[in-house]
Amino acid sequence: MTEDAQRRAMHEYYERGEEADRLIRTGAGRLEFERTQEIVLRALPPSPATIADIGGGPGRYTVWLAGLGHRVLHRDIVPLHVEQVRDMAGNGTAIQTAVADALSLDLADASVDAVLLLGPLYHLEDRADRVRALREAARIVRPGGPVFGAAISRWSARLDGMLRNRIYEKYPEAPELIDGVERTGLLPPLGPRSFCGFTHRPEQLREEFQAAGLTVADLVCVEGGSFLLQDIDDRMADESAWEVVLAASRAHERVPELMGLGPHLLATGVRR
Ligand SMILES: C[S@@+](CC[C@H](N)C(=O)[O-])C[C@H]1O[C@@H](n2cnc3c(N)ncnc32)[C@H](O)[C@@H]1O
């Protein structure tokens, strides 16, 4: 797939508008959201701080951070997502949003206290572009400030797509593409207008942070094996059952043998 075709496919996917409630609609989404929040909170500066949410999508994390008392600069390459954030933010001044590319941001050097980059790294196919996006994040954060970068695990197309979501029933061509995804990291759309991007091995994510001049303070697996539960939606409705799900994700987050099991990896880098 050419770079242009990849970009077009990404825009077509997000223009379906399904991203808006992804993190609250299902147990797997809520697991990703709650775990990402707790991991981010471990290194986030106290409020009020200025946080850049780059590739912030429809703004779930932006709104959460603003609710904690932070000023949030939301940026996304998809205009629909910026419109959705603008609608949610209303006239308050805590959230400022604009269309921007993570590769070339309109924000000044050392102008924010922390950066969330929870999206662009898994939509950039070339290593050079991913390192460039990380360098941009490192440029805009003040020295010592954290950069949180999310990646999709190399094995998630098979574990999440094939095994959990049975995408082969909807997309009969998908099974023959999975070996290639695991070999190269490149994830083409497995069906019409479906998700596409790049999938990381955990150590590859660490290496890209370092290449961008960021010291990796932490690297964790967000969901672990919990996301595979077929009854995860039911467990979400039961507080004590949900706590067991979260505890399992937490317990295995840094076990080297299990790092790539869950669909998301989250690295915390600090500008040197
Ligand atoms: C799966 S969504 C994640 C949204 C949100 N950060 C979250 O974690 O829920 C990935 C987001 O990254 C955005 N994105 C992809 N490439 C980008 C780029 N080069 N610059 C800015 N945003 C980008 C997409 O438009 C999309 O909103």
Contact 137, 147 (CB under 8 A): yes
Per-residue confidence at 36, pLDDT binned at 50, 70, 90? Answer: very high
| Residue 101: burial class (beta carbons within 10 Å; 0-12, 13-18, 19+) | middle
| Pocket test residue of 78, 97, 104 for ligand 1, highest count of atoms within 8 A of CB | 78
Indicate yes or no: pTM above 0.75: yes
Nearest-atom number in ligand 1 for the CA of 101 is 20
50-54 vs 114-117, strand pairing mode? parallel
Res 15 pLDDT > 80: yes
Q: How far is the CA of 241 from the centre of ligand 1 (A)?
A: 31
Residue-wise pLDDT for 105-153, tens only, equals: 999 999 999 999 999 999 999 999 999 999 999 999 999 999 999 999 9
Q: What is the pLDDT of residue 121?
A: 98
Res 1 pLDDT > 80: no
> Residue range 169-187: average pLDDT?
96
CATH 3.40.50.150 fits 3-153+200-271, yes or no: yes
Q: CA 60, CA 64: separation in Å to the nearest integer?
A: 6
Res 92 pLDDT > 80: no
DSSP-assigned letter for residue 121 = G
Per-residue confidence at 89, pLDDT binned at 50, 70, 90? Answer: confident
Q: How far is the CA of 200 from the centre of ligand 1 (A)?
A: 16
- CA-to-CA dists, residue 202 to 120, 182, 195, 220, angstroms: 16, 13, 20, 9
Is the omega angle on the peptide bond into residue 172 within 30 degrees of 0, that is, cis?
no
| Pocket test residue of 14, 123, 265 for ligand 1, highest count of atoms within 8 A of CB | 123
Q: What is the pLDDT of residue 230?
A: 93
> Residue range 69-84: average pLDDT?
97
Q: How far is the CA of 239 from the centre of ligand 1 (A)?
A: 30
Q: How far is the CA of 262 from the centre of ligand 1 (A)?
A: 19
Backbone angles phi, psi at 76, to 5 degrees: -155, 150
| Residue 83: burial class (beta carbons within 10 Å; 0-12, 13-18, 19+) | middle
Residue 55: CB within 6 Å of ligand 1?
yes
Residue 119: CB within 6 Å of ligand 1?
yes
The per-residue pLDDT of the chain, averaged, comes to 95
Find how far residue 243's CA is from the centre of its chain: 23
Residue 263: CB within 6 Å of ligand 1?
no
